[in-house]
Structure 1
Amino acid sequence: MHVNRFGAEGSRPLLLLHGGGVAGWMWEPMRAHLDQERRILVPDLPGHGRSAHQTYTSHDDVLPALEKLLEHEGRPATVVGFSLGAQLAVLLAARRPDLVADVIVVSAQAVPLRAVGPTLALLGATAGLARQKWFAKLQARELFVPPEHLHDYVRTSAGISRETLLNAVGENLRFTPPDGWRDFPGSALILAGSKEKSLMKRSAAALQEARPLSEREIVDGCGHGIPLQRASWLARRIESRTR
């Protein structure tokens, strides 16, 4: 799994986990507003970006690589995840609280979809569209990808295999708060955009209900793209909670 590392080892690491269909580059607008000296880890998850040669099989298969990454750092991390990456952040916090000091969960679906089978069948039939530049541009608009990263999005989208797409989306649609989430001892902030689908806001509520000590916030004016829509705002929230 390709990982970009910034800053010197020794301080509390910040692990940034991207969403499905994008890659580590999605954090660049926000990273520009963070302390440039802090330790930051930005992986390209399997099947995405510079890890596209691997297939995304399941959340459970990805977690050991993320655990190994944090074990090497030697200090509990702040973990920030978006969408698919936010589900991984929740799982890391639930299963390895020794590696996670605090977690920020951005737009994680946590209410499973009922009709997963038909949804995946339709997705499989139309998977080739992701390789079409015009379609990728439409999807980029939905995620609020800025113009300077449009090429990155189009390239990433074209590199995602049908198998990775179906596996990642299937995991995303079936996700529920895991055992251990309620007992996570660190701090937890759960974010969703006010303009996201109601499912995402219900998911944020479900995650907070599963761990009542967490903090939940609906970000006014945002859709499914908080890290790109409010990059500087999110950076400030991270800095204020992790210093």
Structure 2
Amino acid sequence: MYVRETGDAHAPPLLLLHGGGVAGWMWRPALDRLGTSHRAIIPDLPGHGRSAAEAYRSHEETARALVQILEERAPNGATVAGFSLGAQLTILLAATRPGLVARAVVVSAQAKPLRFPGATLGLLAATAPLARREWFARLQARQLLIPDELLADYVRDSVRTSRETLLATVGENIRFTLPSGWAAFPNRAMVMVGERERTLMHASARAVHAALPGSRLITVPGCGHGIPLQRPDLFAEVLAERHPFGP
């Protein structure tokens, strides 16, 4: 798995887990505002970005690889922040290896599985070849709220995303349920959802929050499914713990 690091090598570690269909570059706007207050560890998840050659297979396999990264680069624990697909992985890491997760920031995690995932995956399989067309990637970028300065990154990576990765990531995403260990996570956790997200995402955010006593649930005004991209200034404040929501 390709991993990049930014920031002060002696600063507190921060593991950033991107969403499906994008890559580590999605954190660039927030990191530009974060400065050197943290040492950011930024993987491109399997099947994405510079890790595209190795297809995404499962959350479980990916979480095991992320545990290795944390053990090597932040053995005393790190703030782990994830968006969408990466938010589900954040929950898994917190549930299974809480000693490596000093704080969890869960952004737009679907935690209510779809009732008929087979129908969704069948339609996705039929339309998967479109993902390799630049015109389609540009249309998708608008839906995903990709800013203009990251559009070239999105189009480049969308075109090289394999059908296997696309089906695996979406399949894992729409079937995801909260692991039992999440309720016992002993450290701080913040759950974030955009005000304009779908009803399913709001229900998921409430479920993630309700399952973990002491977690915080934040609804971000004016945002859809793209808080780190729509409000990188606010998200940087969340990561640095200097945001208006308090600690």
> What's the TM-score, normalizing by structure 2?
0.95
| Counterpart for residue 42 of structure 1 | 42
Report the equivalent of 2:14.
14
* Equivalent position amino acid for 2:86 in 1: G
Corresponding residue of 1:209:
210
The equivalent residue for 1:53 is 53
Name the aligned partner's letter for residue 174 of structure 1.
R
- CA 1:4–1:205 in 2, change beyond 3 Å: closer, same or farther? same
Cα distance in 2 for partners of 1:221, 1:60 equals 33
Moved more, 32-41 or 158-167: 32-41
Which residue is 1:218 aligned to?
A: 219
Is the 8 Å Cα contact of residues 7 and 35 (structure 2) preserved in structure 1? no
How far off is 1:74 after superposition? 2.4
Q: Is residue 194–residue 219 contact of structure 1 (8 Å, CA) maintained in 2?
A: yes
Q: Which moved more, 1:155-164 or 1:138-147?
A: 138-147
SS in 2 for 1:46: coil
The residue that corresponds to 1:119 in the other structure is: 120
Q: Deviations over 1:200-239 (max 9, x none)?
A: 0000001011112110011111001100000011101111
Match of 1:143 in 2: 144
- Following superposition, the deviation at residue 8 of structure 1 comes to 4.3
Q: Are the counterparts in 2 of residues 26 and 228 from structure 1 also a CA contact under 8 Å?
A: yes
2:32 match: 32
Shift of 1:191: 0.5
Asked if residue 84 in structure 1 is aligned to residue 85 in structure 2, the reply is yes
Contact 1:13 1:75 in 2 (8 A): no
Distance across 2 between alignment mates of 1:147 and 1:95 = 37
Sequence identity, in percent? 56
How far, CA to CA, are the matches of 1:75 and 1:140 in structure 2? 37
1:68 paired residue number: 68
Residue identity opposite 1:39 in structure 2:
R
Greater Cα shift, 137-146 or 75-84: 137-146
Deviates more, 1:2-11 or 1:133-142: 2-11
Q: Is the 8 A contact 1:142 1:224 kept in 2?
A: no
Q: Are 1:190 and 2:181 matched, yes or no?
A: no
Opposite residue 52 of structure 2, the aligned amino acid is: A
Deviation at residue 5 of structure 1 after TM alignment: 0.9
Shift of 1:135: 1.3
Write the distance in 2 (CA, Å) between the matches of 1:201 and 1:138: 25
In 1: Cα distance, 2:20 partner to 2:242 partner: 26
- SS of the aligned residue for 1:188 comes to strand
In structure 1, runs of 5+ residues without a counterpart are none
The answer to whether the 8 Å contact 2:11/2:36 transfers is no
The aligned length equals 243
1:180 aligns with 2:181: yes
More deviation in 7-16 or 104-113?
Answer: 7-16
- Which consecutive residues of structure 2, in runs of 5 or more, have no partner in the other structure? none
Partners of 1:241 and 1:50 lie apart in 2 by 32
Q: CA deviation at 1:37?
A: 5.2
TM-score (ref. length: structure 1): 0.97
- What is the match of residue 170 of structure 1? 171
Query: What whole-Å deviation, never above 9, does each CA across 1:171-210 have from its counterpart, x for those lacking one?
Result: 0000011111001011010001111111000000010111
Alignment-mate amino acid for residue 30 of structure 2: M
State how far apart, in whole Å, the 1-side matches of 2:161 and 2:210 are: 34
